[in-house]
Amino acid sequence: MIEMLRLLLLLVLAGSALTALAALFAWYAEEHRRLGRAFRKVLGGAPDTELIAHGRGRGAAFNLAGNVIAVAWDNGAWCLVYRLDELVGAELSIDGQVAARAFRGEARRPLDHRPRDAGSVGLRLVFDDPQHPDFDLPLWPPPHPGRRAPEHAGEVIQEANRWIARVEAVLRRAAARPAAVAAPPGPEPEVRTAAPPPQPVASAPPAREEVPPWEDDPDELEDEDEDGEDDFDGDQGRLL
């Protein structure tokens, strides 16, 4: 009898331990917790705000200090991180119609009517990325409502409209950021060119000194008179 009671007690304890472990695992594996861990990992810290498409494993989160936005799907197994200047805009659709939008370079289209009930609500984020240009968050209706899922479409529309306002603020801040002022050009560097090598100058032959005829050497004149006296042949009538 005592052995039977001991066995039953062990079975109860084992069952309680398994139940506690299963509950702990379910708590740890909840959709919003898994997405939150993924966002903290890729953003380098806790996000400032996040939006989750409950029951679909999708979400988006801002980190304003890090100047980044992250999108995730498959419960955080896949994530993409963009700089805030890569965010082009966002649009809120209700029952397949665009109800509000905010895009870079455009005036914001505010949400004029907030219906309490709607067949479908979605938020679309647009990025400057050729491979992944947009990211859809189907917010309503959740495929299998959980304890954290919104109770009605009006709550989803209100939160999505807040995200439109956040996107507009991010785009307005990026547009108001002054462009970097280019530094004035400095003085041009002095260019030093090597002087050409001196060209050899051909030396002219020394000029011959001209002696005026009246300055002839008297010795040469005397020699010429002595050696080459002119004889006049009268008969022939010519100089010899």
> Whose CA is closest to 127, among 56, 60, 73?
60
d(CA 161, CA 167): 10
Name the phi and psi angles at 23, rounded to 5: -65, -40
In sequence order, the β-bridge partners of residue 97 are 94
pTM to 2 decimal places = 0.67
Question: Tens of pLDDT along the chain (240 residues)?
Answer: 788 888 888 888 888 888 888 888 777 778 999 999 999 999 999 999 999 999 999 999 999 999 999 999 999 999 999 999 999 999 999 999 999 999 999 999 999 888 888 999 999 999 999 999 999 999 999 888 777 788 889 999 999 999 999 999 999 988 876 544 444 554 544 444 444 555 554 545 555 455 455 454 555 544 444 444 444 444 444 443
59 φ, ψ (degrees, to nearest 5): -170, 170
Helix (H/G/I), strand (E/B), else coil: 173:
helix
d(CA 223, CA 7): 165
Any idea where the domains of the chain sit in the sequence? 28-176
Q: Please give the backbone phi and psi of residue 121, each rounded to the nearest 5 degrees, phi first.
A: -135, 135
